[in-house]
Amino acid sequence: MSTTTKAFCWAAAIIAVAITGRVQLIPADSAQTLIIILPVLAAASLFKSRGCAMACVGGDRA
C-alpha cells in the first residue's frame, strides 16, 4: 500500500471520529482525545520507514 493510500485511510479515520463525536455516537471526551492522538499515530506510522538522516550519511549518532 502506498504512503498516499495510507494517509487517506488515516484521514478518513480522523474525519469519522470527528463526525461520530459530533453526533454523539461516541462520548465527546473520547472523540477529543482521539482527534489529538490519531494524527500523532498517523505521522508515526507513515514516516516510520524513513531512517535516520545521520545514518544515511555515515554520521556518528550520539
| Lookup: cell for 29 | 471526551
Residue 53: is its pLDDT beyond 80?
A: no
Confidence (pLDDT) at 43? 93
Q: Is 8 domain-assigned?
A: yes
Q: Is 61 domain-assigned?
A: no
3-state SS, residue 24: coil
Confidence (pLDDT) at 7? 94
Measured distance CA(30)–CA(56) in Å, rounded: 40
pLDDT tens digit string along 11-41? 999 999 999 999 999 999 999 999 999 999 9
Residues 30/23, Cβ–Cβ less than 8 Å = no
Domain that holds residue 43: 3-56
Q: Is 9 domain-assigned?
A: yes
Q: Is 47 domain-assigned?
A: yes
pTM of the full predicted structure?
A: 0.72
Domain count, the chain: 1
